[in-house]
Chains A and B, each alone.
Chain A
């Protein structure tokens, strides 16, 4: 029993990261009925951006804000160029385009920054760009890198890392903040309206394109936050972290109820904890399949997810 509780705590951080990524999937699917396959790559790009920015000496809040804005805008542009023209072309076309985008981003990062894992302090590959940056920023040895708290709650039988709890609290706060935003703010309500009834929303004057752009922006920003947290926790980023965490996060979103904000948090945590349980009970070889196994079970038994509402598809 003690072990079980331990694994519950162990799963908090990894589940929270899934949750933050899942929020983006959930929101975009809510308004466009599109699974943005490239969302995991936004997480990866965000993680790289933040790691390099911090390694150059930028204080982490600034690095995070810059990352959120850059990747957020990138997501908006991506939507305008690649998804918008395909609205109305059926479900298959945007999905395939999303897959293509995902592949493109992975390989671009791999080609430019190298396929090997990067750790703090990360340095850019040799080139005129990195030389220009070296002129502006102080030498790497002089930089004091921020760390996640490394303390422990040592309750004898159960040990919880401070940083795991911190990441969990951040995820909960963000989820609550997002819910608040969607309920109280004007753009937020616009997003909800679009998700519920696109045609009616347009009729009452919700700016369609703008609202979609905001949705993508917010989703991307949250993914960047997740990237910062995971990058600092693991001290490692790779071009493939997007597919592995991204797909699991999608499973989490579906598990919790796609389109439902708290569902992403619940789904992420359940998935994170499930993985830790498997490792703990010596079934770690099944860990990666777990996410997908859960996904399939959920899709078959309760497609609307744990917190979702069953939807009638009108013909």
Chain B
């Protein structure tokens, strides 16, 4: 069937005009919106296998903003779902920057996703603050990118020292998520600290898995044969839950060590009884006796009907931190907001007192929790 070209061209122009008109109409409505508030973009994994992180973060953030109420400056948030992937994060950031014209962005959670988002943010000169991504490379060389959580070189060392000093471990194995920058960074920092202090990690006991895996028997058998004192799994809860469960099934009775990627209520659902008896580094524990933490836990619980995890706490802190920074900046200009963020000192968050250092990372303590069959329990705090 041969189509004559002239009507096609006419149709093409018609189609294009339609698109421009409809986009223009909708956007011109937005353009008339008020200027007294600051537009803040939020990129989070609201769907996908890290969804609880995103949903919790958003709940915490919303709680903070609602608490701040009508007090100036008002943050108008535009939330985009990244689906928990690097591509989704890059696309979300692009939308927020070019279409929504936000002044600053909060997010993402997984380090790989934040890395993808930060290129666009950096080149568009829009400040991005991540509340939860811990991989060191995120802020390297990018002066618009900062974070309010600790970094993995700190976290890995914390767990390595805990293993050496508190658990008296001499040998270790590491199960690393090969799809994740976060996991790989932690593998390196844990290994470095552990080995430097005299611990032993054999090469073949650094074992990879993928976020798509559901069956970890093959990897666990290798660990079982070697019987290390501890097994470090710096991964995300969906896979970790399955790993713990299958480890128990294989009668693998060793201590497992985890990091903040474990911090989700779903961990217990997936792992069941196997979740109990492990040690995890994180940003926050809901049974921390600090009265401010308890107040937050109470308010969060009455709104969302469940205990807040680390992500909720970080989201909450991000909300108040951002307000404080914008107030300090005294303007909605991205470059001024960036400067204000970089100069924040001794911000009292519920995840600790936050001071931003010259690399735009947060210097603050880590919390170590233990696991029962149902929840995380506060054990100790480790200061930087």
The reply to whether chain A is a binding partner of chain B is: yes
| Residues of chain A at the chain B interface (Cβ within 8 Å) | 6-7, 10, 13-14, 110, 115-117, 119, 150, 152, 159, 161, 233-236, 238, 244, 276, 279-280, 282, 284-285, 287-288
A117: chain B residues at CB < 8 Å are: 49, 238, 266, 270
* Cross-chain contact A235 with B245 (CB below 8 angstroms): yes
Q: With A and B bound together, what is the CA distance between A287 and B218 in angstroms?
A: 13
Q: Is there contact, CB below 8 Å, between A119 and B219?
A: no
- B208 touching A284 by the CB < 8 A rule? yes
Q: Which of A7, A284, A285 has the most CB of B within 10 A?
A: A284
Answer whether residue B210 sits at the interface, using C-beta atoms and an 8 A cutoff. yes
Asked whether B47 lies within 8 Å of A116 as measured between CB atoms, the reply is yes
Q: Within residues 152 to 183 of chain B, which ones have a CB less than 8 A from any CB in chain A?
A: 178
Q: Once the chains bind, are B245 and A284 in contact (CB under 8 Å)?
A: no
Distance between Cα atoms of A268 and B208 in the complex (Å): 25
Q: Which residues of chain A are within 8 angstroms of B52 by Cβ–Cβ distance?
A: 116
> Which B residues contact A (CB, under 8 angstroms)?
47-49, 51-52, 178, 208-210, 212-215, 217-219, 221, 224, 238, 242, 245, 249-251, 266, 269-270, 272
Of A10, A13, A236, A280, the contact of B270 (CB 8 Å cutoff): A236
CA distance A7 to B189 in the complex (A): 32
Q: List 25 A-B contacts (CB under 8 A).
A: A6-B218, A6-B221, A7-B218, A115-B51, A116-B48, A116-B51, A116-B52, A117-B270, A119-B269, A152-B249, A152-B250, A159-B224, A161-B217, A161-B249, A234-B215, A235-B272, A236-B214, A236-B270, A276-B218, A279-B218, A280-B218, A284-B213, A285-B178, A285-B208, A287-B213
Tell whether A14 pairs with B242 under 8 Å between CB atoms, given A116-B49, A150-B249, A159-B221. Answer: no
- Do the beta carbons of B251 and A288 come within 8 Å of each other? no
Name the distance in Å between A142's Cβ and chain B's nearest Cβ.
17
State the 3 A-B residue pairs at the shortest beta-carbon distance, nearest first: A115-B47, A116-B51, A234-B214
Does the CB pair B270–A287 fall under 8 Å?
A: no
Q: A47: shortest Cβ distance to chain B, in Å?
A: 12
Distance in angstroms from B276 CB to nearest chain A CB is: 16
In the complex, the chain A residue whose C-beta lies closest to that of B179 is A285
The residues of A that contact B272 with a CB separation of less than 8 Å are 235
- Chain B residue numbers with a CB within 8 Å of A7 are 218
| CA of A283 to CA of B126, assembled, Å | 40
Contact A115 B221 (CB under 8 A): no
B246: min CB distance to chain A, Å? 9
Cβ–Cβ contact B51 & A14, under 8 A = no
For A158, give the chain B residue with the smallest CB separation: B221
Q: Which residues of B contact A236 (CB under 8 A)?
A: 214, 238, 242, 270
Q: CA A55 – CA B217 in complex, angstroms?
A: 26
Query: What are the residues of chain B within 8 A of A288 when measuring CB–CB?
Result: 210, 212
Which A residues lie within 8 Å of B208 (CB)?
Answer: 282, 284-285
Given known pairs A6-B221, A152-B251, A279-B219, the reply for A234 and B212 (CB within 8 Å) is no
